[in-house]
Structure 1
Amino acid sequence: MPDVIRVGGLLVATPLLEDPNFRRSVVLIVEHDGSGSTLGVVLNRPTEIEVTQVLPTWGGVVTGPSVVFQGGPVQLDSALGLASVRGDREEPLGWRRLLGPPFRLGAVDLDAPPEVLAAEIVSMRVFAGYSGWSAGQLDSEIREGAWYVVDALPEDAFSGDPSRLWRDVLRRQGGELAFVANCPDDPTLN
């Protein structure tokens, strides 16, 4: 199971996952170390807080919706930026690759001056907090049926309609997972 979890991959909550922090969530894995500790951000939980309210200098760089997303239940007072950058240039300062060629998705140093990166950024989102798992915890949750592990597309991190991301990611998998995308919010009403 540890080989399945990788930086740049997606965790998609199965209908069995009832934890309100992760119900029907899509999590992009941004760190996974040799000991099995994993860190990710929930891609489909926009808040109503405008980026300009918390990071005014980045407000003009963020692409819509220009709100802060709740990246997970851990350290909600911290922020993480994700951005795709132009593919025809060197990697810009203040940006660390998560998904490699041909995709250019990475983490942004929010302490850097936005003008250093602004011309290179194609799309960007800001996340408050993150999702974290200690060594072995995520492996266990996957074995218990809480998560599907699938490949990410660069546009997943910047979905124009985050409320549809869970269904959209499952549908494109085909087979059984495409069928799961149609699972009603409350199966007892089916």
Structure 2
Amino acid sequence: MDSKLNSSSFASLKGHLLISMPQMDDSRFQKSVIFIGAHDSRGAMGLTINKPLQTIAFADVLEQVGVMSERPLDPYIKSMGVRTGGPVEESHGFLLHSADFRQKDTILIDDFFGISGTVDALRTMVSGYRPERMIFTLGYAGWSAGQLEQEMQDNIWLSVPASPELVFNTDPENMWENAFAILGISPGLLSASAGRA
């Protein structure tokens, strides 16, 4: 595949979910669902949203970065977990959230989703203004120019437009299978030589 993509042939997956195929051989991405937050001819960036970290809670992250408030934490924030966003910059936090939350650093993806990634956004949340729905990840997944397109051609990933229902209201352990179900596909019936429509 020619990695020099022009605007007439380039189809961005921004705002889509990548679903790893069952034969994924990279253990970091097996049974992964990744929200694509940026994708252009220079590369792509996404957040794995279905891999909970068992070792740390969101409240612990807030304490570690020094943004705890004198007032009690909102019960929603207090109950939040942390997910492994990907293998790049694993100590950097990203907040994938509903589009109702907007800060200086917020990147609005579409009418439903935004991504914020600064301590200031966390401070704002702790002070009482928070998104209706959100997922906090540590790290992200990244692709160089043309890499994601090649992986799509190689049947490593499928994609589906992201929906708030799937992203925010689905248990992480069910998300991979539910994403396939949206496509009307059973993961057990797929093979490495799956055709492309």
With normalisation by structure 2, the TM-score equals 0.76
The question of whether the paired residues in 1 share the 8 Å contact of 2:91 and 2:138 is answered with yes
Partner of 2:15: 8
1:111 aligned to 2:109? no
Q: CA deviation at 1:114?
A: 4.2
C-alpha distance in 1, partners of 2:78/2:119? 21
Q: 1:34 to 1:140 in 2, by over 3 A?
A: closer
Where 1:167 maps in the other structure, the secondary structure is helix
What code does the residue aligned with 2:108 have? R
1:74 aligned to 2:88? yes
Q: CA deviation at 1:97?
A: 1.1
- List alignment gaps of at least 5 residues for structure 2: 191-197
Where 1:16 maps in the other structure, the secondary structure is coil
Partner of 1:23: 30
C-alpha distance in 2, partners of 1:50/1:183? 36
Q: How much identity, in percent, do the aligned residues show? A: 27
Segment drifting more, 71-80 vs 2-11: 2-11
C-alpha distance in 1, partners of 2:98/2:89? 24
Runs of 4+ in 1 over 6 A off after TM superposition: none
Q: CA deviation at 1:154?
A: 1.6
Partner residue of 2:178 out of 141, 159, 168: 168
Q: CA deviation at 1:160?
A: 4.2
- List alignment gaps of at least 5 residues for structure 1: 185-190
Partner residue of 2:159 out of 143, 149, 156: 149
C-alpha distance in 1, partners of 2:76/2:32? 22
Q: CA deviation at 1:83?
A: 1.1
What code does the residue aligned with 2:120 have? A
C-alpha distance in 2, partners of 1:137/1:61? 41
Q: CA deviation at 1:115?
A: 6.0
The question of whether the paired residues in 2 share the 8 Å contact of 1:12 and 1:26 is answered with yes
With normalisation by structure 1, the TM-score equals 0.78
- Please, what is the CA RMSD of the aligned residues? 2.6
Q: CA deviation at 1:52?
A: 1.4
Q: CA deviation at 1:131?
A: 0.3
Where 2:162 maps in the other structure, the secondary structure is coil
C-alpha distance in 2, partners of 1:11/1:4? 14
Partner of 1:38: 44
Partner of 2:194: none
C-alpha distance in 1, partners of 2:76/2:41? 32
Partner of 2:107: 96
C-alpha distance in 1, partners of 2:59/2:80? 8
Q: 1:30 to 1:162 in 2, by over 3 A?
A: same
